[in-house]
Chain A
Amino acid sequence: MKAYVHASDRDNLVTCVMPLCKGDHIQVEGVDIEVKNDIPIYHKLAIAEIKKGEPVYKYGEVMGLASQDIHVGEWAHIHNIESTRGRGDKA
């Protein structure tokens, strides 16, 4: 079974469908990626460089913005992606 799901070609991250460990290597669309953090099962891994403020894509749609630079192979979650919707804290 494949270790990840890449829902759309546009997506700059993948969903890991098995837990991955720092130092593991996975092949995504023919490119070797070194896993930089331990990734819990069903969490996301960046497969492209995403600069702070740039859109993060899943299912080919914008699922939020990078709140800091995200590097290839890094765990992508609430520590480095923020929502642009329902932000009463920024109103």
Chain B
Amino acid sequence: MIKIKGFRRENGRWGIRNHLLVIPTSVCASETASRIASLVPGAVAIPHQHGCCQVGEDYKQTVRTLVGFGCNPNVGAVLVVGLGCEGIQPAVVADAIRKSGKPVETVIIQECGGTLKTIAKGAEICAELSRKLATQTREEFDISELVLGLECGGSDPTSGIASNPSVGKASNLLIDAGGSSILSETTELIGAEHLVAARCVTQELADKLVYMVKRVEEKSIGYGVDLRGTQPTPGNIEGGLTTIEEKSLGCIYKAGDKPVVGVLEYSEPVDPENHGLYFMDTPGEDIDSITGMVAGGAQIVVFTTGRGTPTGCPIAPVIKVTGNTGTFEKMPDNIDINAGKVITEGASLDEIGREIFEMMIRVANGDLTKAESLGHKEFGIYRIGDTF
């Protein structure tokens, strides 16, 4: 039994951070939300460009993402900031997060009487919530409560050879210990979907996964151009990746070799009663993908990169692993672990997988990742519809 010390939430879930999250429900409230968060140490805002004039599944997905962030166990308390008239009504988001049992407060710009009064009221509420959060201490919980988000970005051929298979070993170790992992990035299943589908525990899940890949591929075909205009990206191609199939075949190594127990829509919550490997429908774009997995409940993310990337997340630690020793040496302030030793020093995948797993445990207990220490908090919502 591997134990971690974290923050117990009202609904029985466990966080490894204790963030005070300021959620704007629309782009119109984003600047105000950011200014409120900037006044209270420890508060973090998630400014975004959405939340109004959206319809159908696209609207639902944006709501699910904002609510999912608020419900993530790494968040101890929430302030929802609304303009008042936007499509995503502040009460809809606040009420849904409140069901998790954590403190949720709301300020509305049109009701407060403008920017300055909203900032003053919001900061006052945040300061009080912050004092409450500071009284909470870490308690022991089992690692099986951990949900790991798997991400790769700025890939090159070392990703499929060294970093992704090493992360796959770490994911296996977590699942063996009773935890869960999420494989994501539907675009990067194109050409490898048959291999992941074959690992689904039911035919229904396999069909759903294949359908999600078909859905995204058909959407790209609808644009009338070669997907290679952006997938692989110009940097992937310069690094040596030639086709989306090659990128995908390397990408799926992140998921180790465990069976797939669930297939989720973007930001859909992982079932807390059903631990194991999940797939989530996210785009290959890193920020939107990580945002979706964290909204789905991931408390920690492991991110592999060949070319190097600084990406973090506002509420979840992101551990950066590269398979490219040159990148590790060139971007020392961004990369936590060098899996390139598999290529340059003959290190085994098991060895690096163990190193990643052990760092996950340290980070879960409170060690900062490089992305956290630099204050990286990228946030992006995957849109599947137009703005009207």
Give me the interface of A with B, judged by CB distance under 8 Å. Answer: 1, 5, 7, 15, 17, 40-44, 58-59, 61-64, 76-78, 81-91
Contact = CB atoms under 8 A, between A and B. Distances in A.
Nearest to B216: A86
B226 A83 contact: yes
B161 A87 contact: no
A22 B184 CA distance: 39
Contacts of A76: 242
Contacts of B163: none
A86 B244 contact: yes
Contacts of A43: 157, 240
11 contacts: A1-B343, A1-B345, A42-B158, A43-B157, A59-B160, A81-B243, A83-B228, A85-B244, A85-B245, A86-B220, A86-B228
Contacts of A83: 191, 226-228, 242-245
B240 A85 contact: no
Given A17-B343, A81-B243, A86 B227 contact: yes
Nearest to A78: B242
A64 to B, nearest CB: 4
B224 interface: yes
A23 B250 CA distance: 29
Interface of B: 156-158, 160-161, 190-192, 195, 217, 220-228, 231, 237, 239-240, 242-246, 249-250, 306, 324, 326, 343-346
Contacts, number: 103
Contact of A63 (B220, B222, B246, B343): B246
A7 B191 contact: no
Contact of B239 (A5, A42, A62, A87): A42
A50 B344 CA distance: 30
A64 B192 contact: no
Leading 6 A-B pairs by shortest Cβ distance: A86-B227, A83-B243, A63-B246, A64-B243, A42-B240, A43-B240
B191 A85 contact: yes
Query: Quick one: which of B306, B326, B343 has the most chain A CB within 10 A?
Result: B343
Contacts of A78: 228, 237, 242
B240 A77 contact: yes
A77 B245 CA distance: 13
Contacts of A84: 245
B158 A85 contact: no
Given A77-B237, A86-B231, 19 more contacts: A15-B161, A40-B240, A42-B157, A42-B239, A58-B249, A59-B160, A63-B243, A77-B242, A78-B242, A82-B243, A83-B191, A83-B242, A83-B244, A85-B243, A85-B245, A86-B227, A86-B228, A87-B226, A89-B225
